[in-house]
Amino acid sequence: MELFVHDSPADVAARTASLIAESIADKSGPFSLGLAGGSSPKPTYDRLREIDVAWQGVHAWLGDERWVPHDSDRSNGRMASDSLFSHVSASLVRPDYGDDPEAAASAYEQELGEIEAMAGRHDIVILGLGDDGHTASLFPGSAALAESDRRYVANRIPETGEIRLTATYPLLHEAARVIFIVTGRSKAEALEASLAGETPAGKVGQGRATVEWHVDRDAASLLS
């Protein structure tokens, strides 16, 4: 696990965008890129639009997705598409939305398996951090935390009852590289606990993946 503290959210975005672009340039052949939702990664996606990247070989997908229609302004897939993927030649694979979240998660798990087989691995997975220590939609106290076999499941958030689709530890632990993007003072307590391995996000580091935390000074304000 490596921690990188940057002066500002803009510096986090600039550095993570260039890391991702460099990684894509360094690999010949298909590249698997898992995307975080929420607001933290959006500046990175915006910066990636300004960089000349060989997008045609990139297969992007969603580390998690809210159970909402594709055109909902709460959709992670819509945010990723609007900010970057509708502007570049990469493919963005999104889960189907319909009557059955479990069936959608299972179908998406199959699609991600095909991407992983084509690329040889999930090259990079971008993740965010909730102020309760969740990442993707692996929320504290939720059933998906205990999933040891399936790589993508429907998960109910205990606090709200909301259903989301999410990658599980079996997927995240097998990725080549995980890049966390964490900014803002509201994340400081969750970051401190995560780096100590005490949150769902912190447990991402228990697998084979190389895990990098790219944070700003506000998020790092409680770290000694």
Chain residues binding ligand 6PG by CB under 6 A are 36-40, 64, 66, 76, 128-130, 134-136
List, as one string, the DSSP characters of 86-107: TTSSSEE-----SS-HHHHHHH
In the complex with ligand 6PG, which residue's Cβ is closer, 27 or 192? 192
Of all residues in this chain, which one has the CB nearest to ligand 6PG in the complex? 128
Distance CA 192, CA 197 (A): 9
We find the least distance from the C-beta atom of residue 128 to ligand 6PG, in angstroms, to be: 2
Kindly state the smallest distance separating residue 137's Cβ from ligand 6PG, in Å: 6
d(CA 152, CA 172): 10
Residue 159 CB neighbour total at 10 angstroms: 11
Task: Report in angstroms how near the CB of residue 18 gets to ligand 6PG at its nearest.
Answer: 20
Closer Cβ to ligand 6PG, 59 or 134, answer by number: 134
Length of the chain as a residue count: 224
**Cβ contact 141:91 at 8 Å:** no
CB of 34 to ligand 6PG, least distance (A): 11
Nearest to 194 by CA among 164, 155, 217, 223: 223
Instruction: Report the residue number, 64 or 216, with the smaller CB distance to ligand 6PG.
Output: 64
Which residue, among 122, 138, 135, has the nearest Cα to 40 in the 3D structure?
Answer: 135
Which lies closer to ligand 6PG via its Cβ, residue 101 or residue 128?
Answer: 128
β-pairing, 152-156 vs 163-167, is antiparallel
Q: Which is nearer to ligand 6PG, 27 or 166 (CB)?
A: 166
Min dist. Cβ of residue 185 to ligand 6PG (A): 12
